[in-house]
Chains A and B, each alone.
Chain A
Amino acid sequence: MITALRKEFLLQWRTRAQAVAVFVFGATALLLFSFAIGPNSAALRQHAAGFLWLGLLLSSTLTLSETFHAEMENHALEGLLLLPVSPRALYYGKAVANAIQLIALGIALVPVMVVLYDAGTTRLPTLLLIIVLGSAGISAPGTLYSAMTSQARAKQTLLPLLLFPLIVPVLLASVKSTSLVILGDPMSQATSWLLLLLAFNGIYWSLCGLLFDRVVED
């Protein structure tokens, strides 16, 4: 899997300009959401968590839909599958690389959220943990669905249509726990939402790894 992960980092480094574009897209989305609320700082702060995760989710579809672009260009994925390598290792390499990219994007969007929505927090380690688990929860099924839709003509449309309903629990838990971190958590509910995130990550990462070879093999 390490070899597969190195390959992904190499490919991502070669297309790093795209990561900047995705961040700009996410930041612009956050800015537009703030226009929808207007100059009401209390309302902005209250909705900050939801907007952060919506921005991250919309940006993630741009990243995920391009995940298999390089693999399909010269049928490179088929070439890899014909090497002595497990399809599962290829999947986990790609999914981990996607998760890291989404985590980096999430971390980069936090200062934008703080500035636009006045939604600062001192519980940064917890916020980081939520971003890590939330991004991983999007990346695991996102990578699988990206493989499924990579050869479809309307992959940009098809991917969100398939992915969004599946990751509702992850999105809900991420928004709720982020909101509790920003607005305060007097009843200590964040732990429950984090456990839910952890559970869904366990399900997605194990199930998608098992299904990947059925998706990519003839």
Chain B
Amino acid sequence: MQPLAIDAAHLARRYGRRWAVADVSFQLARGAVMMVAGRNGSGKTTLLRILSTAIRPDIGRAAVLGHDLIRGREEIRRETALLAHYSYLYESLTSRQNLEIVGRFCGAAPAETTSALERVGLAERANDPVSTFSAGMRKRLSFARVLLQKPVLAFLDEPFGQLDPQGFQLVEQVVAELKRGGATVVIATHQVDRVAGFADVHLNLEQGRMIA
């Protein structure tokens, strides 16, 4: 049997009285690319945040890369990366300094910081503070952050948002590279047509629930 990257059972999370994710169960094989689609507020981001251990589910359980979502949080974080809505960047620091912080925590060599910056096309702006960056450049830098983590499982939340056409190509290339390297990729997106071509599995959400 093929090992699973994600084995989720009845995951649910609510904010106040509203269930953002309700009774979501699925299995995802390692090395697959999964697209999570749905309208605004359908629960895509919450689902990715649960699976990446940013937040806890209120109900349900899941095994991510064989580790329990709650008890194995540290192990999951060692092997996963999340490209979130938030950039996770320090405004006052340069792009290189931001990546160096991530690199040091992940045990990456200093040269890898440079190559990650080159990979996302920000090598020339390596010493500029993030506060001077456009939204698209911040997104690219967040992408470099994910690359530096060398994830076995990558969660990409709206990876195409704020990017230019070259940025779209960059995302597609990186996803293809991650897949070739054996990584599993979960993409939450509105750009269904763009992702449907290379996604192996589709998961559609509506008001937090899975739909066929």
CA distance A82 to B105 in the complex (A): 10
Residue on A nearest B104 in the bound complex, by CB: A3
A78 touches B86 (CB 8 A): yes
- Min CB gap A123→B, angstroms: 40
Interchain CB contact under 8 A, B104 and A73: no
CB contact list, A1-33 vs B, under 8 A: 3, 6-7, 10-11, 14-15
Q: Which residue of A lies closest to B13 (CB)?
A: A218
Contact of B54 with A73 in the complex, beta carbons under 8 Å = no
- Count of A-B residue pairs with CB < 8 Å: 68
Which residue of A is nearest B76, CB measured?
A82
B107-127, CB under 8 A of A: which get 1 and which 0?
Answer: 000000000000000000000
What per-residue 1/0 map shows which CB atoms of B136-170 lie under 8 Å from chain A?
00000000010001000000000000000000000
Is the CB–CB distance between B91 and A74 below 8 Å? yes
CA distance A6 to B56 in the complex (A): 30
A83 pairs with B90, CB closer than 8 A:
no
| A13 CB, min distance to chain B CBs, angstroms | 9
Question: Counting CB contacts under 8 A, is A186 at the interface?
Answer: no
B86 interface neighbour in A6, A7, A74, Cβ under 8 Å: A74
A70 within 8 A of B: yes
Cα A76 to Cα B149 with chains together (Å): 15
Contacts of B92 on A, CB cut-off 8 Å? 11, 14-15, 70
Contact present for B106 and A78 (CB under 8 Å): no
A168 to nearest B CB, angstroms? 35
B179 at the interface (CB under 8 A from A): no
A71-103 vs B, CB cutoff 8 Å, 1 = contact: the mask equals: 001111011111111100000000000000000
- Please tell me if the beta carbons of A74 and B56 are within 8 angstroms of each other in the complex: no
Q: Are A10 and B97 in contact (CB under 8 A)?
A: yes
- Residues of chain A lying within 8 A (CB to CB) of residue B55: 218
Q: Count the A residues whose beta carbon is within 8 Å of the partner chain — how many? A: 22
Query: Is B101 at the interface (CB under 8 A from chain A)?
Result: yes
Contacts A84-B74, A84-B106 given: A79-B88 contact, CB under 8 Å? yes
Q: Which residue of B lies closest to A89 (CB)?
A: B105
Q: Are A78 and B54 in contact (CB under 8 A)?
A: yes
Residues of chain A with a CB closer than 8 A to B54's CB: 78, 81-82, 218
Given the known inter-chain contacts A14-B93, A84-B77, please indicate yes or no for A3 contacting B52, CB distance below 8 A. Answer: no
Query: For residues 62 through 120 of chain B, which have their beta carbon under 8 Å from a beta carbon of chain A?
Result: 74, 77-78, 80-82, 84, 86-93, 97, 101-102, 104-106
The minimal Cβ–Cβ distance linking B9 to chain A, given in whole angstroms, is 20
Cβ 8 A contact of B82, one of A3, A82, A84, A86: A82
Assess whether A79 is in contact with B105, with CB atoms less than 8 Å apart. no
What 1/0 flags go to B46-64 for Cβ under 8 Å of A?
Answer: 0000001111100000000
Please name the residue on chain B nearest to A83 by beta carbon: B105
* Binary contact readout A124-154 vs B (1 if CB under 8 angstroms, 0 otherwise): 0000000000000000000000000000000
Which of chain B's residues have a CB closer than 8 A to the CB of A218? Answer: 54-56
Q: Which residues of B contact A3 (CB under 8 A)?
A: 101, 104-105
Query: Which residue of B77, B93, B97, B104 contacts A82 across the interface (Cβ within 8 Å)?
Result: B77
Hey, which chain B residues are within 8 Å of A6, CB to CB? Answer: 104
Question: With the chains together, A73 CA to B138 CA distance in Å?
Answer: 13
List residues of chain A with CB within 8 A of the CB of B77. Answer: 81-84
Instruction: Contact check, A73 vs B90: say whether CB atoms are below 8 A apart.
Output: yes
Residue among B53, B101, B106, B149 with max Cβ neighbours from chain A (10 Å): B101
- Verify B149–A83 contact, CB threshold 8 A: yes
Show the binding face of B for A, using Cβ within 8 Å: 52-56, 74, 77-78, 80-82, 84, 86-93, 97, 101-102, 104-106, 145, 149
Q: A3-B101, A78-B88 are in contact. List 5 more A-B contacts (CB 8 A).
A: A10-B93, A70-B91, A75-B88, A79-B88, A84-B105
11 contacts between A and B (CB under 8 A): A3-B101, A3-B105, A10-B93, A10-B97, A75-B86, A79-B89, A80-B88, A81-B77, A83-B77, A83-B102, A218-B54
In the A-B complex, the 6 residue pairs with the smallest Cβ-Cβ separation, listed nearest first, are A79-B88, A75-B86, A14-B92, A218-B55, A84-B78, A83-B105
